A and B are shown apart, each in its own frame.
Chain A
Protein backbone atom coordinates (compact mmCIF):
# COMPACT_ATOMS: atom_id res chain seq x y z
CA UNK A 1 0.00 0.00 0.00
CA UNK A 2 1.35 3.44 -0.85
CA UNK A 3 0.61 6.75 0.90
CA UNK A 4 -2.42 7.54 -1.30
CA UNK A 5 -4.06 4.25 -0.32
CA UNK A 6 -3.45 4.97 3.33
CA UNK A 7 -4.95 8.46 2.92
CA UNK A 8 -8.12 7.03 1.37
CA UNK A 9 -8.37 4.49 4.20
CA UNK A 10 -7.99 7.24 6.79
CA UNK A 11 -10.61 9.42 5.06
CA UNK A 12 -13.12 6.57 4.86
CA UNK A 13 -12.58 5.56 8.50
CA UNK A 14 -12.95 9.18 9.66
CA UNK A 15 -16.11 9.68 7.59
CA UNK A 16 -17.58 6.49 9.10
CA UNK A 17 -16.79 7.67 12.63
CA UNK A 18 -18.31 11.10 11.88
CA UNK A 19 -21.51 9.45 10.65
CA UNK A 20 -21.67 7.32 13.80
CA UNK A 21 -21.19 10.39 15.98
CA UNK A 22 -23.83 12.37 14.09
CA UNK A 23 -26.39 9.53 13.96
CA UNK A 24 -28.16 10.35 17.27
CA UNK A 25 -28.84 13.89 16.05
CA UNK A 26 -29.74 12.78 12.53
CA UNK A 27 -32.21 10.23 13.88
CA UNK A 28 -34.07 13.04 15.66
CA UNK A 29 -34.27 15.17 12.50
CA UNK A 30 -34.53 12.78 9.55
CA UNK A 31 -37.77 10.76 9.47
CA UNK A 32 -36.87 7.14 8.77
CA UNK A 33 -39.57 5.29 6.82
CA UNK A 34 -41.35 2.45 8.60
CA UNK A 35 -41.43 -0.62 6.47
CA UNK A 36 -44.29 -2.40 8.23
CA UNK A 37 -47.70 -2.63 6.54
CA UNK A 38 -50.47 -0.74 8.33
CA UNK A 39 -53.76 -2.52 8.90
CA UNK A 40 -56.47 -3.38 11.42
CA UNK A 41 -57.95 -6.75 12.34
CA UNK A 42 -61.58 -7.47 13.09
CA UNK A 43 -62.79 -10.75 14.52
CA UNK A 44 -65.72 -12.49 16.17
CA UNK A 45 -65.24 -15.23 18.74
CA UNK A 46 -67.70 -17.66 20.26
CA UNK A 47 -69.03 -17.55 23.83
CA UNK A 48 -65.81 -19.06 25.24
CA UNK A 49 -63.63 -16.49 23.50
CA UNK A 50 -62.50 -19.13 21.04
CA UNK A 51 -63.11 -19.46 17.31
CA UNK A 52 -65.66 -22.22 17.98
CA UNK A 53 -69.17 -22.86 19.33
CA UNK A 54 -70.61 -19.89 17.48
CA UNK A 55 -74.37 -19.57 17.89
CA UNK A 56 -76.09 -20.94 14.79
CA UNK A 57 -79.44 -22.58 15.46
CA UNK A 58 -81.18 -19.87 17.45
CA UNK A 59 -84.53 -19.77 19.25
CA UNK A 60 -86.74 -17.03 20.62
CA UNK A 61 -86.06 -16.11 24.25
CA UNK A 62 -82.61 -17.67 24.52
CA UNK A 63 -79.50 -15.60 25.10
CA UNK A 64 -76.46 -15.98 22.88
CA UNK A 65 -73.06 -14.41 23.31
CA UNK A 66 -70.20 -13.60 20.97
CA UNK A 67 -67.07 -11.49 21.41
CA UNK A 68 -66.11 -8.79 18.93
CA UNK A 69 -62.43 -7.87 18.72
CA UNK A 70 -60.22 -5.38 16.92
CA UNK A 71 -56.42 -5.34 16.56
CA UNK A 72 -54.56 -2.14 15.73
CA UNK A 73 -51.45 -2.22 13.51
CA UNK A 74 -51.83 1.28 12.10
CA UNK A 75 -48.59 2.68 13.51
CA UNK A 76 -50.32 4.93 16.06
CA UNK A 77 -53.32 4.89 18.42
CA UNK A 78 -56.56 4.63 16.45
CA UNK A 79 -60.16 5.57 17.13
CA UNK A 80 -62.57 2.88 15.93
CA UNK A 81 -66.29 2.46 15.53
CA UNK A 82 -67.87 -0.98 15.17
CA UNK A 83 -71.46 -1.21 13.94
CA UNK A 84 -73.52 -4.31 14.63
CA UNK A 85 -76.05 -4.86 11.83
CA UNK A 86 -78.66 -7.50 11.16
CA UNK A 87 -79.76 -8.74 7.75
CA UNK A 88 -81.68 -11.47 6.01
CA UNK A 89 -80.27 -13.36 3.03
CA UNK A 90 -81.50 -10.86 0.46
CA UNK A 91 -80.30 -7.69 2.18
CA UNK A 92 -76.92 -6.25 1.17
CA UNK A 93 -73.58 -6.87 2.86
CA UNK A 94 -70.78 -4.28 2.65
CA UNK A 95 -69.13 -4.07 -0.76
CA UNK A 96 -65.46 -4.84 -0.05
CA UNK A 97 -64.31 -4.23 -3.62
CA UNK A 98 -65.64 -0.65 -3.58
CA UNK A 99 -65.01 -0.02 0.13
CA UNK A 100 -68.70 0.65 0.68
CA UNK A 101 -70.47 -0.19 3.95
CA UNK A 102 -73.82 -1.93 4.03
CA UNK A 103 -76.68 0.58 3.64
CA UNK A 104 -78.57 -1.14 6.46
CA UNK A 105 -78.99 0.94 9.63
CA UNK A 106 -76.81 -0.11 12.57
CA UNK A 107 -78.48 -1.62 15.60
CA UNK A 108 -75.73 -1.40 18.13
CA UNK A 109 -72.34 0.29 18.13
CA UNK A 110 -69.01 0.30 19.94
CA UNK A 111 -66.64 3.28 20.02
CA UNK A 112 -63.16 2.77 21.38
CA UNK A 113 -59.49 3.64 21.03
CA UNK A 114 -56.66 1.13 20.70
CA UNK A 115 -52.92 1.72 21.01
CA UNK A 116 -50.67 0.65 18.19
CA UNK A 117 -50.00 -3.08 18.54
CA UNK A 118 -52.86 -3.42 21.03
CA UNK A 119 -56.26 -5.02 20.77
CA UNK A 120 -59.79 -4.50 22.09
CA UNK A 121 -62.51 -7.04 22.74
CA UNK A 122 -66.10 -6.71 24.01
CA UNK A 123 -68.97 -9.14 24.55
CA UNK A 124 -72.19 -8.84 22.62
CA UNK A 125 -75.15 -10.71 24.07
CA UNK A 126 -78.25 -11.00 21.95
CA UNK A 127 -81.66 -12.58 22.17
CA UNK A 128 -84.64 -12.74 19.81
CA UNK A 129 -87.66 -11.33 21.60
CA UNK A 130 -90.39 -11.51 19.00
CA UNK A 131 -90.47 -13.68 15.90
CA UNK A 132 -93.50 -14.52 13.75
CA UNK A 133 -93.48 -17.65 11.64
CA UNK A 134 -95.75 -18.77 8.86
CA UNK A 135 -95.28 -21.80 6.66
CA UNK A 136 -92.44 -20.60 4.47
CA UNK A 137 -91.66 -17.21 5.95
CA UNK A 138 -90.33 -15.84 9.17
CA UNK A 139 -90.38 -12.30 10.54
CA UNK A 140 -87.95 -11.19 13.22
CA UNK A 141 -89.62 -8.25 14.90
CA UNK A 142 -87.50 -7.41 17.95
CA UNK A 143 -83.98 -8.23 19.09
CA UNK A 144 -82.39 -7.58 22.45
CA UNK A 145 -78.69 -6.65 22.29
CA UNK A 146 -76.65 -5.86 25.41
CA UNK A 147 -79.71 -4.79 27.43
CA UNK A 148 -81.25 -2.72 24.64
CA UNK A 149 -84.31 -3.70 22.63
CA UNK A 150 -84.36 -2.97 18.89
CA UNK A 151 -87.20 -3.23 16.39
CA UNK A 152 -85.95 -4.79 13.19
CA UNK A 153 -88.95 -6.24 11.28
CA UNK A 154 -86.77 -8.39 9.09
CA UNK A 155 -88.55 -11.03 6.99
CA UNK A 156 -86.94 -14.17 5.65
CA UNK A 157 -88.11 -16.89 3.30
CA UNK A 158 -87.53 -20.58 3.82
CA UNK A 159 -84.20 -21.59 2.29
CA UNK A 160 -84.99 -24.99 0.84
CA UNK A 161 -81.37 -25.64 -0.16
CA UNK A 162 -80.02 -25.20 3.36
CA UNK A 163 -83.26 -25.96 5.23
CA UNK A 164 -83.70 -22.91 7.40
CA UNK A 165 -84.63 -19.29 7.87
CA UNK A 166 -81.26 -17.63 7.63
CA UNK A 167 -80.16 -14.31 9.06
CA UNK A 168 -76.77 -12.76 9.58
CA UNK A 169 -75.47 -10.68 12.45
CA UNK A 170 -72.46 -8.84 11.13
CA UNK A 171 -70.01 -6.18 12.27
CA UNK A 172 -68.51 -3.34 10.26
CA UNK A 173 -65.26 -1.64 11.23
CA UNK A 174 -64.97 2.12 10.80
CA UNK A 175 -61.86 4.19 11.47
CA UNK A 176 -61.67 7.85 12.45
CA UNK A 177 -59.78 9.83 9.82
CA UNK A 178 -57.99 12.85 11.26
CA UNK A 179 -57.77 14.59 7.86
CA UNK A 180 -61.50 14.51 7.10
CA UNK A 181 -62.41 14.61 10.81
CA UNK A 182 -64.97 11.86 10.33
CA UNK A 183 -65.32 8.08 10.47
CA UNK A 184 -64.58 6.19 7.26
CA UNK A 185 -65.55 2.60 6.53
CA UNK A 186 -62.32 0.63 7.06
CA UNK A 187 -63.32 -2.05 4.57
CA UNK A 188 -63.47 -4.80 7.15
CA UNK A 189 -66.52 -6.74 8.21
CA UNK A 190 -67.24 -10.07 9.79
CA UNK A 191 -70.43 -11.89 10.69
CA UNK A 192 -72.13 -15.04 11.89
CA UNK A 193 -75.00 -16.87 10.24
CA UNK A 194 -78.05 -17.63 12.33
CA UNK A 195 -80.75 -20.15 11.55
CA UNK A 196 -84.05 -19.26 13.19
CA UNK A 197 -85.29 -22.62 14.34
CA UNK A 198 -87.94 -21.80 16.85
Chain B
Protein backbone atom coordinates (compact mmCIF):
# COMPACT_ATOMS: atom_id res chain seq x y z
CA UNK B 1 0.00 0.00 0.00
CA UNK B 2 2.75 2.38 1.07
CA UNK B 3 4.83 1.24 -1.86
CA UNK B 4 2.04 2.02 -4.31
CA UNK B 5 1.51 5.51 -2.93
CA UNK B 6 5.26 6.14 -3.05
CA UNK B 7 5.33 5.01 -6.64
CA UNK B 8 2.45 7.37 -7.43
CA UNK B 9 4.29 10.25 -5.81
CA UNK B 10 7.44 9.40 -7.73
CA UNK B 11 5.46 9.29 -10.98
CA UNK B 12 3.87 12.70 -10.31
CA UNK B 13 7.28 14.12 -9.47
CA UNK B 14 8.78 12.76 -12.68
CA UNK B 15 5.93 14.12 -14.82
CA UNK B 16 6.17 17.56 -13.17
CA UNK B 17 9.95 17.55 -13.63
CA UNK B 18 9.55 16.73 -17.29
CA UNK B 19 7.08 19.61 -17.79
CA UNK B 20 9.28 22.13 -16.04
CA UNK B 21 12.52 20.94 -17.65
CA UNK B 22 14.29 23.52 -19.88
CA UNK B 23 13.93 21.22 -22.90
CA UNK B 24 10.16 21.13 -22.53
CA UNK B 25 9.89 24.88 -21.90
CA UNK B 26 12.15 25.61 -24.87
CA UNK B 27 10.11 23.32 -27.12
CA UNK B 28 6.85 24.99 -26.07
CA UNK B 29 8.44 28.40 -26.58
CA UNK B 30 9.71 27.41 -30.03
CA UNK B 31 6.30 26.09 -30.91
CA UNK B 32 4.52 29.29 -29.83
CA UNK B 33 7.19 31.30 -31.67
CA UNK B 34 6.55 29.45 -34.91
CA UNK B 35 2.78 29.75 -34.43
CA UNK B 36 3.17 33.50 -33.89
CA UNK B 37 5.49 33.86 -36.89
CA UNK B 38 3.02 32.02 -39.09
CA UNK B 39 0.10 34.15 -37.79
CA UNK B 40 2.04 37.38 -38.41
CA UNK B 41 2.97 36.21 -41.90
CA UNK B 42 -0.64 35.33 -42.71
CA UNK B 43 -1.86 38.64 -41.32
CA UNK B 44 0.66 40.49 -43.50
CA UNK B 45 -0.59 38.68 -46.57
CA UNK B 46 -4.23 39.26 -45.63
CA UNK B 47 -3.65 42.99 -45.18
CA UNK B 48 -1.70 43.24 -48.45
CA UNK B 49 -4.42 41.37 -50.36
CA UNK B 50 -7.09 43.57 -48.80
CA UNK B 51 -5.14 46.69 -49.80
CA UNK B 52 -4.82 45.43 -53.38
CA UNK B 53 -8.58 44.72 -53.48
CA UNK B 54 -9.30 48.22 -52.12
CA UNK B 55 -6.97 49.73 -54.72
CA UNK B 56 -8.80 47.92 -57.54
CA UNK B 57 -12.15 49.06 -56.12
CA UNK B 58 -10.86 52.63 -55.93
CA UNK B 59 -9.79 52.52 -59.60
CA UNK B 60 -13.33 51.62 -60.60
CA UNK B 61 -14.64 54.66 -58.74
CA UNK B 62 -15.70 53.20 -55.37
CA UNK B 63 -15.47 55.53 -52.35
CA UNK B 64 -13.01 53.53 -50.24
CA UNK B 65 -12.70 55.80 -47.21
CA UNK B 66 -14.69 53.39 -45.00
CA UNK B 67 -12.64 50.42 -46.12
CA UNK B 68 -9.39 52.31 -45.50
CA UNK B 69 -10.50 53.20 -41.97
CA UNK B 70 -10.99 49.50 -41.21
CA UNK B 71 -7.71 48.58 -42.83
CA UNK B 72 -6.02 51.15 -40.61
CA UNK B 73 -7.35 49.26 -37.59
CA UNK B 74 -5.86 46.09 -39.09
CA UNK B 75 -2.59 47.95 -39.74
CA UNK B 76 -2.39 49.01 -36.09
CA UNK B 77 -2.93 45.41 -35.00
CA UNK B 78 -0.27 44.15 -37.38
CA UNK B 79 2.23 46.75 -36.15
CA UNK B 80 1.43 45.69 -32.57
CA UNK B 81 1.92 42.04 -33.58
CA UNK B 82 5.34 42.83 -35.03
CA UNK B 83 6.41 44.74 -31.93
CA UNK B 84 5.13 41.99 -29.62
CA UNK B 85 6.89 39.35 -31.68
CA UNK B 86 10.16 41.31 -31.54
CA UNK B 87 9.87 41.48 -27.76
CA UNK B 88 9.19 37.76 -27.42
CA UNK B 89 5.50 38.08 -26.55
CA UNK B 90 4.45 35.40 -29.02
CA UNK B 91 0.95 34.88 -27.64
CA UNK B 92 0.22 38.59 -27.87
CA UNK B 93 1.69 38.70 -31.38
CA UNK B 94 -0.45 35.77 -32.54
CA UNK B 95 -3.58 37.31 -31.01
CA UNK B 96 -3.06 40.69 -32.70
CA UNK B 97 -2.11 39.03 -35.99
CA UNK B 98 -5.23 36.83 -35.99
CA UNK B 99 -7.47 39.85 -35.43
CA UNK B 100 -5.65 41.73 -38.18
CA UNK B 101 -6.10 38.79 -40.56
CA UNK B 102 -9.83 38.63 -39.83
CA UNK B 103 -10.34 42.34 -40.55
CA UNK B 104 -8.18 42.09 -43.68
CA UNK B 105 -10.22 39.19 -45.02
CA UNK B 106 -13.52 40.97 -44.32
CA UNK B 107 -12.33 44.11 -46.06
CA UNK B 108 -11.01 42.13 -49.04
CA UNK B 109 -14.38 40.42 -49.55
CA UNK B 110 -16.27 43.70 -49.16
CA UNK B 111 -13.94 45.49 -51.57
CA UNK B 112 -14.43 42.77 -54.19
CA UNK B 113 -18.21 43.07 -53.81
CA UNK B 114 -18.14 46.85 -54.12
CA UNK B 115 -15.81 46.61 -57.11
CA UNK B 116 -18.17 44.22 -58.92
CA UNK B 117 -21.07 46.61 -58.34
CA UNK B 118 -18.97 49.54 -59.51
CA UNK B 119 -17.86 47.67 -62.64
CA UNK B 120 -21.50 46.96 -63.52
CA UNK B 121 -22.30 50.63 -62.98
CA UNK B 122 -19.35 51.71 -65.12
CA UNK B 123 -20.39 49.36 -67.94
CA UNK B 124 -23.95 50.70 -67.77
CA UNK B 125 -22.71 54.29 -67.76
CA UNK B 126 -20.37 53.57 -70.64
CA UNK B 127 -23.21 52.02 -72.64
CA UNK B 128 -25.48 55.06 -72.16
CA UNK B 129 -22.66 57.51 -72.80
CA UNK B 130 -21.76 55.69 -76.02
CA UNK B 131 -25.39 55.64 -77.17
CA UNK B 132 -25.62 59.36 -76.41
CA UNK B 133 -22.40 60.06 -78.32
CA UNK B 134 -23.46 57.98 -81.33
CA UNK B 135 -26.85 59.73 -81.46
CA UNK B 136 -25.23 63.15 -81.11
CA UNK B 137 -22.68 62.42 -83.84
CA UNK B 138 -25.43 61.14 -86.15
CA UNK B 139 -27.54 64.27 -85.56
CA UNK B 140 -24.51 66.53 -86.08
CA UNK B 141 -23.46 64.77 -89.30
CA UNK B 142 -27.04 64.77 -90.61
CA UNK B 143 -27.67 68.40 -89.64
CA UNK B 144 -24.30 69.41 -91.06
CA UNK B 145 -25.06 67.68 -94.38
CA UNK B 146 -28.56 69.18 -94.65
CA UNK B 147 -27.31 72.57 -93.51
CA UNK B 148 -24.55 72.49 -96.07
CA UNK B 149 -26.98 71.52 -98.86
CA UNK B 150 -29.35 74.35 -97.93
CA UNK B 151 -26.54 76.83 -97.60
CA UNK B 152 -25.08 75.79 -100.96
CA UNK B 153 -28.49 76.11 -102.64
CA UNK B 154 -29.03 79.60 -101.23
CA UNK B 155 -25.50 80.58 -102.11
CA UNK B 156 -25.90 79.39 -105.71
CA UNK B 157 -29.27 81.13 -106.05
CA UNK B 158 -27.79 84.34 -104.78
CA UNK B 159 -24.85 84.10 -107.15
CA UNK B 160 -27.05 83.20 -110.12
CA UNK B 161 -29.50 85.98 -109.20
CA UNK B 162 -26.81 88.59 -109.41
CA UNK B 163 -27.02 90.88 -112.43
CA UNK B 164 -23.81 91.75 -114.15
CA UNK B 165 -23.17 95.47 -114.26
CA UNK B 166 -21.36 97.05 -117.10
CA UNK B 167 -18.84 99.52 -115.95
CA UNK B 168 -17.74 102.29 -118.12
CA UNK B 169 -14.21 102.29 -119.19
CA UNK B 170 -13.17 105.87 -118.74
CA UNK B 171 -9.62 105.50 -119.85
Contacts and interface: CB of A to CB of B under 8 A. Distances in A.
Interface of A: 3, 6-7, 10, 13-14, 17-18, 21-25, 28, 76-77, 79, 108-115, 148-150, 176, 178, 181
Interface stretch (B5-13, B15-23, B148-156, B161-169): B148-156
Interface of B: 47-48, 51-52, 54-55, 58-59, 64-65, 68, 71-72, 75-76, 78-79, 82-83, 87, 122, 125-126, 129-130, 132-133, 136-137, 140-141, 144, 147-148, 151-152, 155
A76 B131 CA distance: 30
Contact of B133 (A25, A76, A79, A176): A25
Given A76-B58, A176-B48, A113 B68 contact: yes
Contacts of A112: 72, 75-76
Contact of B55 (A21, A148, A178): A178
21 contacts: A3-B155, A17-B140, A21-B136, A21-B140, A22-B136, A25-B126, A25-B130, A76-B55, A77-B51, A79-B71, A109-B79, A109-B82, A110-B76, A110-B79, A112-B76, A113-B54, A113-B72, A114-B68, A148-B83, A148-B87, A150-B87
A28 B126 CA distance: 7
Q: Pick the most buried of A22, A23, A77: most chain B CB atoms within 10 A of its CB.
A: A77
Contact of A14 (B51, B83, B144, B152): B144
A93 to B, nearest CB: 21
A115 B55 contact: no
Contacts of B155: 3, 6
B75 A113 contact: yes
Q: What are the nearest 8 A-B pairs in CB distance?
A: A21-B136, A111-B75, A14-B144, A25-B133, A111-B79, A79-B51, A17-B140, A24-B129
A24 to B, nearest CB: 5
Contact of B64 (A7, A14, A111, A115): A115
A17 B78 contact: no
Contacts of B64: 77, 115
A145 to B, nearest CB: 9
A33 B67 CA distance: 27
A113 B130 CA distance: 36
A22 B130 CA distance: 8
B71 A113 contact: yes
Contacts of B68: 77, 113-115
A23 B47 CA distance: 39
A22 B137 CA distance: 7
B163 to A, nearest CB: 19
A112 B82 CA distance: 14
Contacts of B83: 108-109, 148
Contacts of B52: 178
